[in-house]
Amino acid sequence: MYPHLPKSAHFTTEHDAFRRSVKRFVDTELLPHVDAWDEAETFPRALYERAAEIGLLGLGFPEEYGGVPGDLFHEIAMIEELSRTACGGLMASVFSHTIGAPPIVAGGSAELKSRVLPEILSGKKISALAVTEPSGGSDVANLKTRAVRDGDSYIINGSKTFITSGMRADYITVAVRTGGPGAGGVSALLVPGTASGLTRTTLKKMGWWCSDTAQLHFDDCRVPVGNLLGAENRGFDIFMRNFNHERLALALQAYGFACVCLDEASDWARERMTFGQPLMQHQVIRHKLVAMATQIEATRALLEDMAARLQQGQQPVAQICMLKNFATQTMQLCADHAVQILGGMGFMRGTKSERIYREVKVYMIGGGAEEILNDLAARQLGWL
């Protein structure tokens, strides 16, 4: 997989061994089936437990709940290998717990964490995050879904949309309004998938076909007070911290898919004969490939620098926003160039670049749209 760079100093023999394990999993259990799963718009639930068995689901979570030790460079190695599937929908659903479960770790009671997290990290239960609403996406501070305290329960009313793993999630981390307007009135509640008053509607999408995506409806949905994550009316900070890692993960996936596009386009350019010579012999094609490679090199440098900063304890929010935007722009450029180089084949289902091309926009919108993140970066830099 491109880029063929000298080994980074950040990657140790431990990272390399982990990468080999992920590579075997991708080669034997994902690549033979991923096209069929995407066409079927689903994949086997058993895949969660298989991913857990080799340490993918627990990576970076506390060991006491079934987590697996690992740093951000383990995550980079993992996503680089998983990206070879060219299937963002698969990755989004298998790893929906990486946005659903961190608020449980951050704010759940000891009893709740010991009961719920081992099930999630072993792949026996599925975790999802529900923040976005039909009335607004990135404007979390103004969400409308309300939870009212009633004795030892909260009663929830409202709707959430674009929820990854929303149809089959067993635990849903939900952003609700428990107080007044603005960020100070937001709380986090863990809603069991079996809760009465919860109904779900599947959504059809341009890409991410095998990822189940749902709209959720809460009609007097009752959950125990013990499912509150963190303090009441203090959930906004939990969700904001969660977004930082989500944006980094989206940037990593965008980078991985950009590499896949370059691989497929360069292979095609070497093999495809036009006017008596390989397509690669045409200067215009070589220049497109170099433009792709240049953008990928820059993205990888930013990703490794960001991972190192985060592991040092920094929280450079503006730079995370800029990285996510830059990486998704890299994915967009590489997908566009790859489809153009493949020509008619790039328009056909079955090529990796075709699927990645369809999935570009969800990366540019999900986790905070490009325009929202630019504005957030400006505020973090003191320009607003």
Question: Residue 277: which CATH number?
Answer: 1.20.140.10
Residue 14, φ and ψ in degrees, nearest 5: -65, -45
Judgement on whether residues 246 and 373 belong to the same structural domain of the protein: yes
DSSP state of 200: E
For 176-213, letters b (16+ CB in 10 Å) and e give bbbbeeebebbbbbbbbbebeebebeeeeeebbbbbbb
pLDDT class of 144 with cuts at 50, 70, 90: very high
What pLDDT, in 10s, does the model give residues 21-45? 999 999 999 999 999 999 999 999 9
How high is the pLDDT of residue 73? 96
In a domain, 180, yes or no: yes
| Threshold 0.85, pTM exceeds | yes
Q: Are residues 34 and 59 in the same domain?
A: yes
Q: How confident is the model at residue 5 (pLDDT cuts 50, 70, 90)?
A: low
**CB 47 within 8 Å of CB 94:** yes
At 384 the pLDDT is 86
Res 4: pLDDT: 60
Domain assignment present for 218:
yes
Pairing state of beta strands 198-202 and 273-274? Answer: unpaired
Does residue 94 share a domain with residue 164? no
Q: What are 164-199's pLDDT values in tens digits?
A: 999 999 999 999 999 999 999 999 999 999 999 999
Residue 113 lies in a domain: no
Residue 355 has φ and ψ, to the nearest 5°, of -70, -40
- Is 120 among the domain residues? no
Q: Is residue 264 part of a domain?
A: yes
Q: At 49, which amino acid appears?
A: E
Q: Kindly tell me if the per-residue pLDDT of 378 is higher than 80.
A: yes
Tell me, yes or no, whether 41 and 100 share the same domain: yes
Peptide bond preceding 316: is omega within 30 degrees of 0, i.e. cis?
A: no
Q: What pLDDT does residue 205 have?
A: 97
Domain residue limits at 62: 13-107
Element (H, E) at 190: strand 186-192
Assign residue 224 the CATH number of its domain.
Answer: 2.40.110.10
* Rounded average pLDDT over 306-328: 96
Q: Is residue 70 located within the same domain as residue 185?
A: no
Residues 63 and 160 in one domain: no
pLDDT of residue 7: 66
369 and 262 belong to one structural domain: yes
The CATH number covering residue 52 comes to 1.10.540.10
**For the chain, what is the domain count?**
3
Q: Percent of the chain, pLDDT > 90?
A: 94
- When pLDDT is cut at 50, 70 and 90, the band that residue 136 belongs to is confident
Domain end call among 182, 212, 233: 233
Q: What is the mean pLDDT of residues 289-311?
A: 96
Domain check: are 249 and 372 in the same one? yes
What pLDDT, on the 0 to 100 scale, is given for residue 255?
97
Last residue within a domain, chosen from 47, 80, 107: 107
Rounded Cα–Cα distance for residues 158 and 220 (Å): 9
Per-residue pLDDT band at 2 (split at 50, 70, 90): low
Q: Tell whether 71 is covered by a domain.
A: yes
User: To the nearest whole number, what is the mean pLDDT of the chain?
Assistant: 96
State percent of the chain over pLDDT 70: 98
CA distance 45 to 305: 35
Tell me, yes or no, whether 2 lies in a domain.
Answer: no
> Do residue 178 and residue 263 come from a single domain?
no
Residues 207 and 254 in one domain: no
Q: Say yes or no to pLDDT of 138 above 80.
A: no
Burial class for 287, CB neighbours closer than 10 Å (0-12, 13-18, 19+) = exposed
CA angle 8, 14, 20 (to 5 degrees): 85
**pLDDT at residue 1 above 80?**
no
Q: Choose one of 107, 135, 165: the last residue of a domain.
A: 107
CB count within 10 Å of CB 300 equals: 21
Cβ atoms 323, 303 nearer than 8 A: yes
Confidence of residue 139 (pLDDT cuts 50, 70, 90): confident
pLDDT, tens only, 70-114? 999 999 999 999 999 999 999 999 999 999 999 999 999 999 999
pLDDT in tens, 238-274: 999 899 999 999 999 999 999 999 999 999 999 999 9
Residues identified as active-site? 246
Inside any domain, residue 224: yes
